[in-house]
Amino acid sequence: MYSFLTTENWADYELVDSGNFEKLERFGQYYIARPEPQAIWDKHLPEQEWQRMANAVFTRDKGSQEKGQWKLKKGMPEQWFIDYKYNDLKLRFRLGLSSFKHVGLFPEQDSNWKFIYDTTRNLKAPQPKVLNMFAYTGAATLAAKAAGADVTHLDSIKQVNFWARDNMEASNLDNVRWIVEDAMKYARREVKRGNKYNGIILDPPSYGRGPNGEKWQLEDELNEMIKLCRELLDGTDYFLLINLYSMGFSALVLDNLMRGTFGDMVKHEELGELYLLDGGERKLPLGTFFRFTSVGRKI
Beta carbons of 119 and 199 less than 8 angstroms apart = yes
299 pLDDT band, cuts 50/70/90, is: very low
- Runs of H (alpha helix) within 54-146: 110-122, 139-146
Computed over its alpha carbons, how large is the radius of gyration of the chain? 19
What 3-state class would DSSP assign to 54? coil
**Span 3-35, pLDDT tens digits:** 999 999 999 999 999 999 999 999 999 999 999
Give the model's pLDDT for residue 27: 98
pTM, rounded to two decimals: 0.95
| Helices and strands counted in the chain (H then E) | 7, 17
Beta carbons of 60 and 35 less than 8 angstroms apart = yes
Give the C-alpha separation, 85 to 62, whole Å: 39
* Residue 111 CB contacts under 8 Å (≥ 6 apart), including other chains: 5, 6, 7, 8, 274
Query: In sequence order, what E strands does 145-268 have?
Result: 150-155, 177-180, 199-202, 207-209, 215-217, 239-244
**Span 90-110, pLDDT tens digits:** 999 999 999 889 999 999 999
**Span 178-218, pLDDT tens digits:** 999 999 999 999 999 999 999 999 999 877 777 777 777 78
